[in-house]
Amino acid sequence: MIGDGGELALVDVREELIFSQRHLLLARAIPLSRFELRFAQLVPRRSTRIVLCDDNDGLAERAAAILRRNGYTDVAILDGGVDAWVAAGFEVFSGVNVPSKAFGEYIEHERGTPNISAVELERLLREKADIVVLDSRPFDEYSRVSIPSGVNVPGAELVLRAREIAPSPDTLIVVNCAGRTRSIIGAQSLIDAGVPNKVVALRNGTMGWSLAGFSCDSGKDRRAPDVSSKTLDWARGAARDVAQRFGVERVDRETLDAWREDATRTLYIFDVRDPAEYAAGHVAGAISAPGGQLVQATDQHVGTLGARIVLVDDAEVRAAMTGSWLRQMGWSDVFVLVEAGTEIGRPEATVLDGETQAGSFIDCATLSTLLSRNAATAVDLSSSRDYLTGHIPGAWFAIRTRLGRAFETIPASGGTLVLTSEDGTLARLATAEAAALVEIPVCALAGGNTAWQAAGYPLTAEPKKMADEAVDQWRKPYERSGDTKAAMNEYLAWEIDLLPRVRRDGSLKFSGH
C-alpha cells in the first residue's frame, strides 16, 4: 500500500514520546488522547484509505471506532501493531519528523552543501569579517536562543530577503537553525536560487555553537527589512527558475475551486507566508504553514501520502521554493497559487465526535468555590508542556487515554471530579470516559483553562502534581532535564545516521538534482 502510488494515511495513535521511540517511517503521530481534535485537519477526506497502528494494545481499535462513527469508510488496523512490523523484517525509526530530517541529510550528501564550523564562524565574527548570519527558524525559536549577530529570516523567506540584507556579493552568508536540517535546506535554497554570495550552513546550528563552548544570545528581535521592488523582481525570477527545474507548476483559482469539489483526491491548501501576512488576509480555507516549517516537519501538516498540495503566496517566491523542496522529497502533485486572499481568521477546526457522549459542565466561579472548600478534584488533560507552564492551582496532570493509571494516584474519593484542558474541548470529550472509571460525579470546566484565566483566576506552575509520566510529548534536546550536552550530541548523531537507514527502508524516493 505504501508503494502502490495511491493515497494512504498511515496513522500511529500512541502518545508522541512512545511514538518517537519506535515507529514506521511514514507514520503520522495522532495520539488517541487528542485524536478527535487533530485527525480531520490531517486527514480531511472521509474516503481516504487509512491504516492505524499501535502497540497491539487496543488503541487502534478505539480510534477506528471513532473514525467509522464520523463517516470514514476505508479504515484498517495494522495486525499485531509495531511489533509485528518489526517481526516481519521491516525498519522502524526513532525520533520525530524523520522523513524531513533524512531529506536534509540527503541534500547535503547529494548536493555537497557547504558548511562552516562554530569555531570558524566565531573567529570571523570576532574579526568583524564581512558576514551575515541568517537564522532560518520561526521567530519564537530564534528569540529563545540565537547566534550572536543573527538575523531572523525563516527558511522560506531566505530567497526573498537575503539580498536585501546582504546586497554586496562579497558578504559571506551563514544560515543556521537549531541543528542541521533547516541550515542545510536554507543554505541550499540560496545556492539553488543563484545568489552571487558565498553561502554556507552553520554545522549543527545553535547546538553545535553551544557544544563548541560559545554563548548564545537570548531575547533578540533582529528581523529582515522590507523587500525593495528590485530585490523582489530578482527573487521572483530566481524562484521561478528553481520551480521550473523541479517541475512545480502554477495553478489558477478556477482550477483550485474545481479541486475543492473533487471527492476522489485529498487537497491541502497551505499559506506558506509569514503568519502575520496570513493573519492580514488569506485564501479561504488555507492553513498557515510557513514554508520552512512545512519542509522541516511535513508529517505534521500532510497526513495523507499521495495527496495534492497547493501552496499560496502572493509574492510567489516562498511558495515556489517550498514547492521545489516538496517535489524533491517525493510529493508529485505540488502547485503554486500566486494570491493573497481576503479571508480573516483561521478556518474552524473540525472536531470529530468522541467514543461516548460528553457529560455536564461547570463554570469557573463554581469550580473556584468548590476548590476553596476542598469539594472538588481538578484534573488537567492539557499537554504536559502547557501544564508545567501554568495550570489551575491544585490541578493534577493526566493523559486522557491513561486516566485509569492516573486515578491510581489521584485521590478522587469525594466531591466532584472536574476535568479541564487548554480550551475545554478535550475535557468535554473525556467526561464520560472518566465517569466510567470513578464513583463520584464528573464534569468538564466550560472553556477550560482559557476561560479560567479570562475570568480573572490565576494559573500557576507550582505545585506540579503529575499523575502520569509526560509521555505525551517528545522534547527537543535543549528542553530536556539532565545532561543537555549529551542530549545534543546524541540528537546530532541521530540525524547524521538517518540516511542509510532510510535507504534500507526504501519507502522514500528523494531526488536532489
Share above pLDDT 90 across residues of the chain, in percent, rounded to a whole number: 95
Look at residue 412 and tell me whether its pLDDT is greater than 80.
Answer: no
The distance from CA 128 to its chain's CA centroid, rounded to whole angstroms, is 36
Cα separation, 310 vs 44, whole angstroms: 15
Q: What are the Cα distances from residue 323, in Å, to 43, 276, 301, 319?
A: 20, 21, 14, 6
How far apart CA 10 and CA 429 sit, in angstroms, is: 24
What is the Cα–Cα distance from 306 to 9, expressed in whole angstroms? Answer: 9
Average pLDDT over residues 142-161: 98
Distance of CA 365 to the CA centre of its chain: 35
For the chain, which domains are there? 9-96 (3.40.250.10), 102-237 (3.40.250.10), 239-337 (3.40.250.10), 360-466 (3.40.250.10)
Confidence of residue 358 (pLDDT cuts 50, 70, 90): low
Residue 315: strand, helix, or coil = coil
d(Cα 158, Cα 154) in Å, to the nearest integer?
7
Query: What is the average pLDDT across 182-207?
Result: 98
- Identify the band that residue 481 occupies on the pLDDT scale cut at 50, 70 and 90: confident
pLDDT digits (tens, 9 = 90+) for 378-394: 999 999 999 999 999 99
Euclidean distance between CA atoms 409 and 420, whole angstroms? 18
Identify each DSSP E strand in 197-293 by its residue range.
199-202, 249-250, 267-271, 287-288
* Helix runs in 356-420, H state only: 364-372, 384-389, 403-406
Secondary structure E strands in 325-402: 334-337, 360-362, 376-380, 396-397
What does the pLDDT read at residue 416? 95
pLDDT at residue 513 in the model: 63
Q: What is the model's pTM?
A: 0.96
Grid cell digits, residue 263: 471527492
